[in-house]
Structure 1
Amino acid sequence: MADKQKTLICGDVNGNFNALFNRVDTIVKKSGSFDILLCAGNFFGDDNSQLDAYKMGTKKVPVTTYVFGPSQLEHADYYCEEGGEIVPNVIYMGKRGIFTTSADVKIAYLSGLSRREMGKDVNMCTFEPSDCSAVRDACFRGQSEFRGVDILITTLWPAGIQEDENQKVDMEQDRLSDLLSWLSIHIKPRYHFVPSPEKYYERQPYRNQSINQDYKECATRFIALAPVGNKSKEKWIYACSLQPITKMRIMDLLTSTTDETVCPYNPDLLKQHQPGKVVKVTGNGQFFFNMDANDDDQGKRKRKGDNPERKRREIDPDSCWFCLSSPSVEKHLVICVGTHCYLALPKGPLTPYHVLILPIAHHQAQTKAPDEVVKEIKRFKDALKQFYDSMNKCAVFFERNYRTSHMQIQCVPLPRHVEAQILEVFQDEAGINSINLELLPPYADIAQTALPGAPYFTAELPTGELLYTRPKQHFPLQFARDVLSSPPLLNCEDKADWRQCLLSKEEELQHVADFRQRFRPYDFTADDSGSDSE
């Protein structure tokens, strides 16, 4: 289990710095050290003289503190540049954004008052619909499957959250924002913290909505914190221990509580790609994960009409990137060549020993390949298993016959100690993506499962078991890379997209040379007599 981050969150400080940091110091002495303190409301107030002692160093901030804002124009001059320190150990994060802590906890924030709802001019203390979109997009960026964020901090309350059947909530309309309802339902925070003008309020957890109503999303705890040092002794500081959402098991993430409620926001907000802009939702509803996708009917008809021409181009060896006789093949990536197949380094490998098994001639998938090709694929797999085993690693092989023209079997070695987790991580990620992933018996024949030419995705686990699904619209093309690069396995999420980890040609040549040298004892192509061919 991943280490948890111990986090403190407070409401409006309003210049009461001694009350805040003295209380934090007491909590630390009683409960041990905390990783961060988040100030959800106004940090400055009318009198900020207490901060002088922290500036001069006569007093010290006990926990690294993150400040957001401003939400009042008269406080704007008190802030430093974004990313700078207001005083030692107090960092100003700006008005909006998302940041990931060293413990991999993801914190999104949008401070200030809504110009649209407040009717004020644009300034550094207000936000607009475009700010909400920017935060949403920053949360999704680089993630083909999005679970949610760990924490969302906003100055205003999302409209609808105050509709609570279990307790009365009095909140002025000017502190409620429809834009934040849109943001919250899209980014699905596990915790949503806001400042409260007077009273502490903790709502019962609500279950987030999904475009696909059959798919369960994570739950959100909404907590409003009273002002620091308030005379009514309302709760103004909150402590929690967070395991990052990216490292949680999907089963734990989706576990219901006895007091859970339905989502208080209109589910139609999920159909708005931008606040106030409704777009058509089709398939499994993942349109917002792929900003470049063309989901309109006209685009689909056009693509359908282009299919015959595209297929004719794809089977032309001169234009195929992987037919070995094609001038388009990057020959320097080839590691070794057998009778019917060859081994090559992929573009943007997950590890230095991540390789591809490809047929020399043009075959779209294993289900359409001749017996002799399938037989040699097995020989390459067996050789790679022995090779990886010599490094105390296990092998995962996967193939995606979906939006690809030339068969590619990806071969990725993983540390032996994660072998027991591979199936679970595949199933977790499939659940996040609403993918129906079937587990077939060890060494099942994909040709007996999928019809020739039909799209499929399959992954062979070190146990020999086969995972299989038939991709539907919007199937994530990087699904297997997302799984294997996840923290429980290779822990290199920045490599989930091959385009983000491209090597220079010199580096590729070095990778190929190193692989050839280490693979030589297992390379049957060096002295193969060609017994498979007739």
Structure 2
Amino acid sequence: MERKDEVFVLVLCNVRGDFRKAFSKINKAAEKVKNLEVFVVGEFFSDRFPITSQLVDAVSNEGNKLQCPINVLMSSKEVASVGENKEQIGDNIHISTGLNWLKTASGVGVVFWTEEVNRDNDNEMSTVLNDALTRLAASKCDLLLTTSFPMGVYNFTGDPLDSKHFSSLNVSKLAKAVCPRYHFCPNPLAKYHQRHPYRNDNVLAMKKTNHTRFITLSNVGSSQKWAYFFGIDLNKLEVADIQTECPYTVALLKGTDSNSGGYNTSLSSDQTNASFRWSSSNDDSFNDNSSGNGPQSKRRRSNLNNQIERECWFCLKTDACEKHLIVYINDNSTFYVALAKGAIHPDHVLIVPVDHHKSAAMLPEDLELDLEMLKTQVFKFYEAQGKDCVIYERSYTQVHFVLQIVPVRRAVSKNLLTAFHSHVNKINGINLESIRPPSTLKMLWEKNEKCNYFHVEFPSGDEFFIPLRISTFPINFGRQFLCDPEVLNCPRAADWRSCVLSKAEEEENRNSIKDAFSKFLAEYTASDI
């Protein structure tokens, strides 16, 4: 969504009758920024005293002193008590209610749900949601504002609030469908907490810009000084270095996850196709053993597979694949070598399976042999140039894995393990496992319940496996330790986006490696390798 001017957003939760403090905070913010959009979600009036006409008039008078209009997202119960004018209190307080979408004059897209959603009204609210879901899923959503708490939002991070006792699966469905940049809701425990951002993007396209920040706020005037407001500059939203998978997994939404609390969470096939357009590692749509065997389930799986083939960066038959980066395809046409996009240096290459395989740990035995042969060829190629190779794989949410091969000068090869362990020790809560024969990558993966993982092999023969069960494991960890001053000494290259070259430069690098690699393979027989 394009915006001509800078847009600042202020969100407050649960005013609960403390209008002077809330309005004072809004006015202070309005004095500091030119273009301020204000949203208030949760309880606006207090349940300690009735909503009388005198109270509404008093709020109207105070509201007229505000330096900017505000949008109050009010429950139908509160709206019914306001009086004849259900859309506005005074000149500055604009009321919205129900489940809907609005676009502000500044171009901010907001999806809101003002009703309390709980176990008692689950069926009724499910009907309301199902009627609106397809429409809302097609709306641009900068902010999602809900009165109720989403169930399962702390999947992949740990739940600091034990939220399953007061959360709603219907809110989770809504959040999954609209993919907001921010999701705000009041905290039933009157605390503030901000979850690590989670990804909404199509991981096949490897974009990391579309992620959601979930923030739950305390009540205005919290006695424990918890934050009850949050300000955002929508023009300066940075891409988060640490992101988790989407917490709203298929298992949760189908009611088979323990966090679903016994809710019936099934959706119609049309809503599934419209709403759940991004995959996650827990999405059983990619599992051949998926329990859906009916015509609709097979058709949905077929549609997903077709989407994967159209969008995958690494499938040779797709338009998305940048074929000008390809260096070599092995004799069995099962793997290829390609120049890395945003390479750390010109010798940085990838080994990629021709067909879809989610991780190296999931390869069938015949492909494991092909992979080992190609790895050895690449290692020997760089060895002849006086370089050692580090190979690593980050198996997370992708459905087409790649192995990163980064050559380093032999003079600094001795520093690799020190740099690796130094960076590992900066991350709390991870379990580093060494792979020693007869153990293999596949054995450790199965031992760790087939989890996501980071796997690295060093030229010294050391090999490590890290189960990715925490949200704080850096996305660019492999690049970070390799770019350490003790190894490649290029900290800027830890982010691949800072290393992207023009197509002409990429082709030049590819041709250089391709010619040298072809010459190397011609001079050595398979037995020599």
Structure 2 length-normalised TM: 0.45
